[in-house]
Chains A and B, each alone.
Chain A
Amino acid sequence: MEVTELVVYGSILLLAAVGIWGILSRRNLIKLILSLTILETAVNLLLVSVGYISGRSAPIVNGDTGLDGSPIGEIVDPLPQALVLTAIVIGLATTAIALIVAVGYYRSTGTLELKSWSYGLTNEKEVRK
């Protein structure tokens, strides 16, 4: 197995597991949003790796050759890169909205703990005020 493969496979597995675990077991809104962005990173990495082809260069041409002088046609799949660009922007928008909602939740309830979240899988003791 190549190093690239190992790194990509390992990162996807690790990031997805950490993100999902965080979402399942935390009820603090900020930690939930952090877990979300970790999961998002895992999914974006998955999406962009679907289009990777071993040994090929970036999908840009410079005149008659690729950026590194390789012949045209020897490039990776540009479509997933375009998709991931969209997905990143969308992820940013949802994170921004989630954060401002967290601010409102904190100001109206005085806590960041989202009650009744996490279906009893949490290991955080409920904090009573």
Chain B
Amino acid sequence: MMERYDIHRSIPAILLALMVAATIFYAFVEVGFGEPEVDKEDSVSNRFISNSTQETGSSNFVTAVVVNYRGFDTLGEVTVLFLASAGMGAIVSALPAGDKRKRPIPPSLILTAGTRLVLPLIILFGAYVFVHGHLSPGGGFQGGVIIASGLLLYIVIFPEWKAPHKALALSESLAGLSFAGIGIIGLAVGGIFLDNVISGLGEAGMLVSAGLIPLIYIAIGIKVGAEMTGLVARMKGGDA
């Protein structure tokens, strides 16, 4: 079908959109871009910048904030992703029947052999990224997404492959429980949920350092990898 666009009918929408965007934009100019807010005496981030390596043992400050200072947000974030993945499963089972899909064209040898070759490397790289989340850019979410992107490649190349939803659900569950469990250990030992009780362990900058942060990021990495794979596989359909 052809859509017809009458320019005069889109004027109100364009004006409204410009007005809202301009208001947000002007407020942002008022707040200021590139100004050293953190140097203000009373800024929250001051402590993150000057103390986080000592306090958490993490060389990556963003990781220190994500997993330690604001770990509770991250637990919520993991929950959101869990809900999306579980919700997708529930919705897929409520979907009305769709059209029969055509059989896809079989992929060539280069694609299948190449995929088999790079898939382990992608997964290894993903694991590397989440294990080193406290040292270098990246972390559990990024690593998990890298793993899922490898499996996305696999799903595209081998459309007949059925995702092992049970195994994915199990690893999702276990990883989520270990994240919450680490938090509860903090509550039981120090009386504070998600307290990094062994932050002093190891030397900053080394792989074994930053206490519980790498453990949490490994759990997140596995969880995100499993959930994203599940999401992609469900989107492909056919194996609810």
Is A bound to B?
yes
What residues of chain A lie closer than 8 Å to B188, measured between beta carbons? none
User: Which residues in A have their C-beta under 8 angstroms from that of B22?
Assistant: 13, 17
Give chain A's interface residue range (CB within 8 Å of chain B).
Answer: 35 or more
Q: Is residue B108 contacting chain A, with contact meaning CB distance below 8 A? A: no
7 more A-B residue pairs beyond the given contacts A13-B22, A100-B92, with a C-beta to C-beta distance below 8 A: A9-B29, A17-B18, A63-B205, A75-B61, A92-B81, A107-B96, A123-B13
At the interface, is chain A mostly helix, strand, loop or mixed?
A: helix
Query: Which B residues between 1 and 40 are near A, CB-CB below 8 angstroms?
Result: 1, 3-7, 9-10, 12-14, 16-18, 20-22, 24-25, 28-29, 31, 33-38
Return A32 CB to nearest CB of chain B, in Å. Answer: 13
Across the two chains, which residue of chain A brings its CB closest to B220? A89
Instruction: List the A residue with the shortest CB-CB distance to B29.
Output: A9
A–B complex contacts, Cβ < 8 Å, 26 sampled: A5-B33, A13-B22, A13-B25, A14-B21, A17-B18, A17-B21, A20-B21, A21-B14, A21-B18, A50-B37, A52-B34, A53-B34, A60-B60, A61-B61, A76-B38, A79-B45, A79-B65, A85-B66, A89-B80, A93-B84, A96-B84, A100-B92, A100-B234, A107-B95, A108-B96, A123-B13
Measured between beta carbons, the chain B residues less than 8 angstroms from A108 are: 96
B59: interface (CB < 8 Å): yes
Question: Using Cβ atoms and an 8 Å threshold, which residues of chain A touch B74?
Answer: 86
Instruction: Decide if B198 is an interface residue (CB 8 Å cutoff).
Output: no
Query: How far does the alpha carbon of A103 sit from the alpha carbon of B189 in the complex, in Å?
Result: 47
A4 to B33, CA, bound (A): 10
Which chain A residue lies CB-closest to B28? Answer: A46
The residues of A that contact B13 with a CB separation of less than 8 Å are 21, 24-25, 118, 121-123
Contact of B81 among A62, A78, A89, A99 (CB under 8 A): A89
Across the interface, name the chain B residue whose C-beta is closest to A103. B95
B109 in the interface (beta carbon within 8 A): no
Q: Is the CB of A93 within 8 A of B81?
A: yes
Q: Which residue of B lies closest to A14 (CB)?
A: B21
Quick check: is B104 within 8 A (CB to CB) of the other chain?
no
The reply to whether A82 and B84 contact each other, CB–CB distance below 8 Å, is: no
Q: How far is the CB of A26 from the nearest CB of chain B, in Å?
A: 9
Given A99-B235, A100-B92, A100-B234, check contact A53 B137 (CB 8 Å): no
A59 in contact with B62 (CB, 8 Å): yes
A54 within 8 A of B: yes
Task: Please tell me if the beta carbons of B65 and A82 are within 8 angstroms of each other in the complex.
Answer: yes
Minimum CB–CB distance for A77 against chain B, Å: 5
